[in-house]
Amino acid sequence: MQRVKQFIIELCCVYTLISVVGAFVNIITGTETNNANVITMFLSCAIATFVLYMHRLFDNVSPLVMIIVQYLAACFLCALMILGLSYFYGPVTPWGWFEYFRSFTIPYIILAALYYYRVFSEAKKQNALIQEIQQKSREKNSGEV
């Protein structure tokens, strides 16, 4: 249950950040968004957050392979989502696919970098703590002999 709460919190933070940046871009460019774009943006955030949140499944592979596989999985799931949404909103043109994946990839790379930085820094802190505990344990054991 704790992991579900953490996922929902991260999804809300990511969606809020993307929405605010999107609002600023719309203000600067003088464009507007519609409900289909808002739904697509939320579903894209949910997919990206879910895929990034599954990094523990890739603990046995190198970080670079993990990052590439997760990006490709996110793109695949987003393509399925776009195909599903095109059933309701009409077909997607080749330029629309290009625009979607460009609009998805740029924030994904930025937010994934922040996410992985946080994950790897937490792992580094945990590793340092484990080494400190092991060192104190060795010092205690060597003093008892």
The number of beta carbons lying within 10 Å of the beta carbon of residue 111 is 19
Question: Tens of pLDDT along 120-132?
Answer: 888 888 888 888 8
Q: Rounded to whole angstroms, how far apart are CA atoms 65 and 62?
A: 5
Q: Which amino acid, residue 119?
A: V
Q: What is the DSSP string of 5-39?
A: HHHHHHHHHHHHHHHHHHHHHHHHHT----HHHHH
Query: Does the pLDDT at position 84 exceed 90?
Result: yes
Q: Rounded to whole angstroms, how far apart are CA atoms 64 and 66?
A: 5
Question: Tens of pLDDT along 44-68?
Answer: 999 998 998 887 777 788 878 888 8
Could you give the percent of the chain with pLDDT greater than 70? 98
User: Residue 23 is encoded by which pair of tokens?
Assistant: 């609002």
Q: Which amino acid, residue 40?
A: T
Question: Tens of pLDDT along 3-47?
Answer: 888 888 888 888 888 888 888 888 888 888 788 888 888 999 999
Any idea where the domains of the chain sit in the sequence?
Answer: 2-120
